[in-house]
Amino acid sequence: MTEFDHRPRHLDTKLRARAREVIPGGMYGHQNAGRLPAALPQFMAEGDGCRVRDVDGNDYIDFMCSYGPIILGHRHTVVDAAALDQQLRADCQNGPGEVMVELAERLVDVVDHADWAIFSKNGTDATTTCVTVARATTERRKVLVAEGAYHGAAPWCTPIINGVVPDDRAHLLHYQFNDLDSADKAASVAGDDLAAIVVSPFRHDARHEQELVDPNFARGLRSICDGAGAALILDDVRCGFRMAYGGSWEPIGVAPDLSAWSKAIANGYPLAAVLGNERFRAGAEKIYVTGSFWFSAAAMAAGLATVDTLGSESALAKIERAGARLRDGLAAQARGHGVEIRQTGPPQMPLLTFAGDDEKFTLASEWTDVAARRGAYFHPWHNWFLSAAHTDADIDEALLATDEAFAAVRKALDHR
């Protein structure tokens, strides 16, 4: 234990040991804390606004927002009330509730490019359905994806290919994000078999600096798809509603044909959506996708309340303001400690990296570890998320933690 331990910590040791008995590796997937700095907990007990508490009773100001879903804050009164009201009447039934139609209408209204919606449960459901709709519509096979981009964890897209057969990815071709030439070349290889180009609103690959989209690149992809009769698929699963009230590329004026949504659209309730335009409606009618809980009403009621709250409360401005205040504070602290950093991505979904850090993110991990011990929950190599519940006071309190984190990094650098 170091000088930064201001409170007793137990690091959920016993629970992690129990988990190793009955869960492969003790945990799996993106929330596996075994890969994270020691001070970050594996098991969480509570959330409220931008504050979370782990099972040992340690509190944190939360800058991961459950890896994206929490956009209005944990335990949001309006959203939770809407979900509970629906739950008390009906959730999983023999058919959807009226709220499915209302939510589809609202999304079609709010998102410019959208004429229809298909709901599901996982972001991966949404990206996979987009590809299926594109293939059903175009009757072609090839799909372009950016090298290193994350579009879900199904066999065709999971970043770790154990258990995946090459056939699952037989028709994927790769381009480099923001490199239109590379996309042009990949499209040429696909030729008249090009079904779709899949792209994220900005480059937010884990373990990489983030990169905002070049509008000319986005327009270029749109142009390739128009020329080839292929679908432009925007994977808005991670960014949706944090970048814009509407699709994340509305501000740059580039409309996808299909977009994939999940994470924040219901403030933590399990929901995903594909939004599409008229050209792809017939293809969407031809495919068969479904799930036992895809039509459950409570998550849709939460989604409707989330979308309406985001629209009426200037939530996006709050999120952006909080992110900017954090970014400014971190920049000043880094200068003060003489630590060279890079802050990339939009302020709503920032990432902090350290000049001279290694492939293991040793400096970022030290920084994250100390910040966690002081009560601020960040991540060393995955982008963070701000929410509308982060006030100026929360940011300023978190900056007390990050100041100690920068001091620790300074010390580590001095001992190199």
Burial of 412 (0-12, 13-18, 19+ CB in 10 A): middle
Q: Which of residues 332-361 bind its own copies (CB under 8 A)?
A: none
206 part of the interface to its own copies, by CB under 8 A: no
117 part of the interface to its own copies, by CB under 8 A: yes
CB 310 within 8 Å of CB 316:
yes
278 part of the interface to its own copies, by CB under 8 A: no
CB 156 within 8 Å of CB 128:
yes
CA separation for the pair 237, 126 (Å, rounded) = 8
In the complex with its own copies, the residue whose CB is nearer, 62 or 369, is: 62
Q: Which residue stretch of 266-274, 307-315, 318-326, 340-348 sits at the interface with its own copies (rule: CB under 8 A)? A: 266-274
Contacts of 146 (CB under 8 A, 6+ apart): 174, 175, 176, 177, 198, 199, 200, 203
160 part of the interface to its own copies, by CB under 8 A: yes
In the complex with its own copies, the residue whose CB is nearer, 174 or 410, is: 174
In the complex with its own copies, the residue whose CB is nearer, 217 or 384, is: 384
Q: Which residue stretch of 12-20, 182-190, 198-206, 314-322 sits at the interface with its own copies (rule: CB under 8 A)? A: 12-20
Going along 66-149, which residue ranges are E strands?
116-120, 142-146
376 part of the interface to its own copies, by CB under 8 A: no
CB 254 within 8 Å of CB 222:
yes
Q: Which residue stretch of 117-125, 225-233, 359-367, 388-396 sits at the interface with its own copies (rule: CB under 8 A)? A: 117-125
In the complex with its own copies, the residue whose CB is nearer, 36 or 407, is: 36
Q: Which residue stretch of 116-124, 210-218, 223-231, 245-253 sits at the interface with its own copies (rule: CB under 8 A)? A: 116-124
Size of the site for its own copies (CB under 8 A): 110
- C-alpha closest to that of 241 among 273, 213, 217, 210: 273
Among 174, 185, 208, 281, the residue binding its own copies under the rule CB under 8 A is: 281
CB 329 within 8 Å of CB 399:
yes
CA separation for the pair 99, 177 (Å, rounded) = 37
Contacts of 163 (CB under 8 A, 6+ apart): 155
Among 4, 78, 112, 116, the residue binding its own copies under the rule CB under 8 A is: 116
123 part of the interface to its own copies, by CB under 8 A: yes
In the complex with its own copies, the residue whose CB is nearer, 80 or 250, is: 80
Q: Which of residues 298-327 bind its own copies (CB under 8 A)?
A: 299
Q: Which residue stretch of 165-173, 224-232, 246-254, 311-319 sits at the interface with its own copies (rule: CB under 8 A)? A: 165-173
Q: Which of residues 44-73 bind its own copies (CB under 8 A)?
A: 44-47, 52, 54-55, 62, 64, 66-70
In the complex with its own copies, the residue whose CB is nearer, 138 or 178, is: 138
CA separation for the pair 60, 298 (Å, rounded) = 28
CA separation for the pair 278, 243 (Å, rounded) = 24
CA separation for the pair 316, 294 (Å, rounded) = 27
In the complex with its own copies, the residue whose CB is nearer, 281 or 410, is: 281
